[in-house]
Amino acid sequence: MKKRLLTLALALVMALSLAACGGGSGDTQPSGDSQPAGDSQPAGDSGSSDASGAVYYLNFKPEQDGAWQALAEAYTQETGVEVKVQTAASGQYETTLMSEIAKTDAPTLFQVNGPVGLANWKDYCYDLSGSQIAGELSSDDFALMDGSSMPGIAYVIETYGLIYNKALLEQAGYTADDIKSFADLKKVAEDITARKDELGFSAFTSAGMDGSSDWRFKTHLANLPIYFEYEADGIGDTEAIKGTYLDNYRAMWDLYINNCTCAPTLLSAKTGDDSVAEFVTEQAVFYQNGTWAFGDVADLGEENLGMLPIYIGVGDEANQGLCTGTENYWCVNKNAKPEDIQATLDFMYWCVTSDTGLDYMCSGDEGKMGFVIPFKGNLESTNALVNIANDYVAQGTTSIKWCFPTMPSEEWKNVLGSALTAYAADQTDANWETVRAAFVDNWAAEKSK
Amino acid sequence: MEKCIKRYFPVFLGPTFLAFLIGFIAPFLMGIYLSFCDFRTVTDAKFNGVQNYVRAFQDGDFAHAFWFTALFTVTTLILINVIAFAVALVLTREIRGTNLFRTVFFMPNLIGGIVLGYVWQLIFNGILSRYDLALKISAKYGFWGLVILICWQQIGYMMIIYIAGLQSIPGDLSEAAEIDGANGWQRLWNVTIPNMMPSITICTFLTLTNGFKLFDQNLSLTAGEPMKQTEMLALNIFNTFYGRVGYQGVGQAKAVVFFILVVALGLVQLNMTRSKEVQQ
């Protein structure tokens, strides 16, 4: 009896392990099969020779995931080339890329955030110089160069600032014309806070420091003191930042956290979604974010949305514009199969030249991306925030450059973010010293690694 | 029949052994090799000697993570085992609804760590926000938050093991002691606990290694905030490997150190409690 039980148990184990193996191979087989099928079918359909190969795009922007999926489908319908789009979760791009690129079925198209990101992925980047898409760039400034090779090409130009709700600002007794400097902003914000109960709303949305949106402060807001320091010193990058304008950074951060919808001690528990929700439900007047967030805030109505430069009390504030630049560079995986590289190049070219591609990239309609693209084919945008940004440029203000691609590492940003959160909870000089150390000392430490 | 098993054992064992080889042994050996390499992706690695280990030991955050984890493990080891044992004692008495209680206490163990972390984060923040505080502003809150979460999750599981142990103790031992005039405490210390040593060995081993290996709950409850002060070893390794450019090798080296540490501690603990086990 005992032996029979043992045999039974063993048989069960075997059956289970076989089933497990079967499950595994069942997963891989179809995808292995579909590849050649996908290869041969389009060739037969369209008869074009470049229709072999497939594209795998690892997308960085979760807010545009739907649009990319639709665009990929449209491309497959038009040309028969298979395009797979996968989107990394917010803040997980490097992690996802690292594990994806080690696979046999690696992304053929991915992105880096500028020179610092490129340093990590240089060995995987196909030289795009002389490619069709490089010829479409509206300015050579938008190519990411490494010596004479061109490993990356920017595909979107973005702008951020202080988005505000016009109706609420008027209700508080002000208009955008009253805010022309940091001092003005401080006055308005503190006045709103003083009358918070009477008005029923706050000046700023909560900062969302739980990690889902702290990049708005550890990266985007931190860009301003870095930009002004670079300007003052006439440089574009540095091994050791001095932190000349850190006091202004502190003043701005103080303003944000002490005039928002919740107590500053609660900021570490707030998310980016909380922040958006507070803005859309009219609990706050100001919301620091950029053109990419238009879809989130469009419900307030175009006529109700405005954008102010982020004044931190440095430089020529009267002529200060919004922060414009890019940290999104397309790179083609050098190690992909030649036909896949060709398919990827064709896809990129199609995205920025064909009518369908341009419509998806530039239109601000529901389900489209609403980008400003640095290519000749760029269409007039229906993204209200983009149009506001264009107005600023037309008025002759000086745009603030995006200097944060020169930040030493993700680690630098993360440490700064934690320090900002800790300071928000307990606003002492000692805690600000931690922020200063994270900003200045850690810059040099991380750059030297 | 026996002959049959002898002849065909490769058919039965082969697949499982193969799966173990591919799924465990191979990655494990590869991991040890990679800890001596400089690499970005696991498929292209360059040998660079013990440099990764040097950098791992120079990392102050790693040392902090070790002490934090050690403190956490000791705290939860004691709390979980004492409470689980007490609950098991209560639930082996003849009380109405014992089965219901056992099921309810066991249930938290069926929920995944990430989910638990988020749920408890909401609970803690919900309570703390009444006092204008939040979980992530102090390492103290993070620590006790984690302790509460883990106790809540694991007490039920350890309780089941203790109940099984308690039920296997022959009733006549306790009865004999009672007739000899031993009071309740004496019976607990001198009869029940010595007979429970096998269960205690298992439970302390599980809580010890679980405490050291804790990852999901740490990630979703505090994510190491504030300022990496609640970052435990596993999370520190994860962040080193995935969060920092060029640190993959260092992360791998930390993982090897971590493995040795957990194995060593586990063995020491097993020896210590085993030696106290009695033969019935």
- Per the model's pLDDT, the better-predicted residue between B27 and B171 turns out to be B27
Overall average pLDDT of the A426-437 stretch: 92
At A113, which amino acid appears? Answer: N
Chain B neighbours among A 208-247 (CB < 8 Å)? 210-211
CB within 8 Å: A94 and B125: no
Beta carbons of B101 and B92 less than 8 angstroms apart: no
Q: Quick one: pLDDT at residue B86? A: 93
Is the CB of A444 inside 8 Å of chain B's CB atoms?
no
CA distance A73 to A79: 10
pLDDT at A424 over 80: yes
CB within 8 Å: A422 and B228: no
| pLDDT band (50, 70, 90) for residue B138 | confident
Q: Quick one: pLDDT at residue A33? A: 36
Q: How far apart are the first and last CA of chain B?
A: 34
Q: Quick one: pLDDT at residue A4? A: 61
Q: Quick one: pLDDT at residue A5? A: 57
Overall average pLDDT of the B19-34 stretch: 92
Overall average pLDDT of the A338-344 stretch: 92
Overall average pLDDT of the A161-187 stretch: 92
Overall average pLDDT of the A12-36 stretch: 41
Residue from A387, A177, A411, A218 nearest A298 by CA: A387
The 10s digit of each residue's pLDDT in A89-139 is: 877 888 888 888 888 889 999 999 888 888 888 889 999 988 889 888 888
pLDDT at A37 over 60: no
- Size (chain B), residues: 280
Beta carbons of A254 and A447 less than 8 angstroms apart: no
CB within 8 Å: A120 and B244: no
- Percent share of chain B, pLDDT over 90: 44
CA distance A153 to A111: 9
CA distance A175 to A184: 11
| pLDDT band (50, 70, 90) for residue B96 | confident
Overall average pLDDT of the A256-279 stretch: 89
CB within 8 Å: A268 and B41: no
Residues in chain B closer than 8 A to A269 (CB atoms): 121, 125, 128-129, 134-136
Q: Quick one: pLDDT at residue A39? A: 38
Which range among A112-126, A261-275, B64-78, B105-119 has the greatest average pLDDT? Answer: B64-78
Is the CB of A25 inside 8 Å of chain B's CB atoms?
no
CA distance A395 to A380: 18
Write the residue in A95, A102, A266 that is nearest to B242 by C-beta: A95
Sequential DSSP letters for A37-62:
HHHHHHHHHH--GGG-S-EEEEE--G
At B228, which amino acid appears? Answer: K
Tokens representing B38 are 């400089």
Beta carbons of A134 and A145 less than 8 angstroms apart: no
User: What is the strand order of the sheet A149-154 is part of?
Assistant: A83-87, A55-59, A109-112, A329-332, A149-154, A143-146
Q: Quick one: pLDDT at residue A13? A: 53
Sequential DSSP letters for chain B:
-HHHHHHHHHHHHHHHHHHHIIIIIHHHHHHHHHTTEEESSTTSEEE-TTHHHHHHHH-HHHHHHHHHHHHHHHHHHHHHHHHHHHHHHHHTS--TTHHHHHHHHHGGGGS-HHHHHHHHHHHHHHHHGGGT--GGG-HHHHHHHHHHHHHHHHHHHHHHHHHHHHHHS-HHHHHHHHHTT--HHHHIIIIIHHHHHHHHHHHHHHHHHHHHH--HHHHHHTTT-STTTT--HHHHHHHHHHHSTT-HHHHHHHHHHHHHHHHHHHHHHHHHHHTT----
Residues in chain B closer than 8 A to A266 (CB atoms): 129, 132-134
pLDDT at A10 over 60: no
Residues in chain A closer than 8 A to B226 (CB atoms): 268, 418, 421-422, 425
pLDDT at A371 over 80: yes
Is the CB of B42 inside 8 Å of chain A's CB atoms?
yes
CA distance A134 to A114: 17
Q: Quick one: pLDDT at residue A27? A: 36
CA distance A15 to B15: 9
The 10s digit of each residue's pLDDT in A202-227 is: 999 988 887 778 889 999 999 999 99
Is the CB of A410 inside 8 Å of chain B's CB atoms?
yes
Instruction: Write the DSSP symbol of residue A301.
Output: -
CA distance A221 to B22: 48
Interface pTM, i.e. ipTM: 0.76
CA distance A333 to A367: 28
Overall average pLDDT of the B19-44 stretch: 88
Overall average pLDDT of the A48-72 stretch: 83
Tokens representing A291 are 């053109």
Beta carbons of A111 and A328 less than 8 angstroms apart: yes
Q: Quick one: pLDDT at residue A89? A: 83
- Percent share of chain A, pLDDT over 70: 89
Residue from B129, B59, B141, B228 nearest A434 by CA: B228
Q: Quick one: pLDDT at residue B149? A: 93
Q: Closest Cα of chain A to B41: distance in Å?
A: 6
Beta carbons of A198 and A254 less than 8 angstroms apart: no
Instruction: Write the DSSP symbol of residue A147.
Output: T
Query: Average model confidence (pLDDT) for chain B?
Result: 88
Residues 6+ apart with CB under 8 A from A6: B5
Q: Which of A7-21, A112-126, B122-136, B265-279 has the lowest mean pLDDT?
A: A7-21
Q: Closest Cα of chain A to B66: distance in Å?
A: 19
pLDDT at B280 over 70: no
At B58, which amino acid appears? Answer: Q
Q: Quick one: pLDDT at residue A38? A: 36
Beta carbons of A287 and A279 less than 8 angstroms apart: yes
Torsion B8-B11-B12-B16 (CA) sign: positive
Sequential DSSP letters for B66-120:
HHHHHHHHHHHHHHHHHHHHHHHHHHTS--TTHHHHHHHHHGGGGS-HHHHHHHH
- Per the model's pLDDT, the better-predicted residue between A210 and A373 turns out to be A373
Residues 6+ apart with CB under 8 A from A53: A39, A81, A337, A338, A339, A340, A341, A342, A343, A344
Task: Give me the residues paired with residue A125 across strands.
Answer: A333
pLDDT at B278 over 80: no
Q: Residue B226: is the preceding peptide bond cis (ω within 30°)?
A: yes
| pLDDT band (50, 70, 90) for residue A41 | very low
CA distance B169 to A158: 71
Overall average pLDDT of the A48-62 stretch: 78
H-run or E-run covering A410: helix A410-425
Q: Which of A201-205, A281-285, B239-243 has the lowest mean pLDDT?
A: B239-243
Q: Quick one: pLDDT at residue B74? A: 94
CA distance B132 to B191: 50
CA distance B89 to B163: 7
Residue in the structure block whose two tokens are 């595994």: A24
Pick among B245, B248, B250 to test the A interface (most A CBs inside 10 A) = B245
- Percent share of chain A, pLDDT over 90: 41
Half-sphere exposure of A211 (CA within 13 A, CB side): 19
Residues in chain B closer than 8 A to A267 (CB atoms): 134
Residues in chain B closer than 8 A to A428 (CB atoms): none
Residue in the structure block whose two tokens are 């609990």: A283
Write the residue in A4, A21, A409 that is nearest to B15 by C-beta: A21
HEC per residue, A159-199: EEEEEEEHHHHHHCCCCHHHCCCHHHHHHHHHHHHHCHHHH
Chain A neighbours among B 61-100 (CB < 8 Å)? none
Q: Quick one: pLDDT at residue A49? A: 43
Beta carbons of B253 and B52 less than 8 angstroms apart: yes
Write the residue in B41, B121, B134 that is nearest to A265 by C-beta: B134
By CB neighbour count within 10 A (0-12 exposed, 13-18 middle, 19+ buried), where does A150 fall? buried
pLDDT at A22 over 70: no
Residue in the structure block whose two tokens are 């630098």: A412
| pLDDT band (50, 70, 90) for residue B82 | very high
Q: Closest Cα of chain B to A146: distance in Å?
A: 19
CA distance A287 to A210: 17
CA distance A382 to A387: 8
Which range among A123-132, A141-150, A397-406, B71-80 has the greatest average pLDDT? Answer: B71-80
Q: Quick one: pLDDT at residue A330? A: 93
Write the residue in A20, A102, A421 that is nearest to B42 by C-beta: A102
CA distance A143 to A137: 8
Residues 6+ apart with CB under 8 A from B265: B208, B209, B212
Alpha-carbon distance values, A430 to A71, B89, B152, B265 (Å)? 51, 51, 37, 39
Pairing relation of β-strands A320-325 and A398-401? parallel
CA–centroid distance for B250 within its chain: 24
Q: Quick one: pLDDT at residue A11? A: 55
Pick among B2, B12, B38 to test the A interface (most A CBs inside 10 A) = B12
Beta carbons of B21 and B221 less than 8 angstroms apart: no
- Per the model's pLDDT, the better-predicted residue between A45 and B232 turns out to be B232
Query: Average model confidence (pLDDT) for chain A?
Result: 84
Tokens representing B88 are 């098991």
Overall average pLDDT of the B207-224 stretch: 90
CA–centroid distance for A262 within its chain: 26
Q: Quick one: pLDDT at residue A323? A: 92
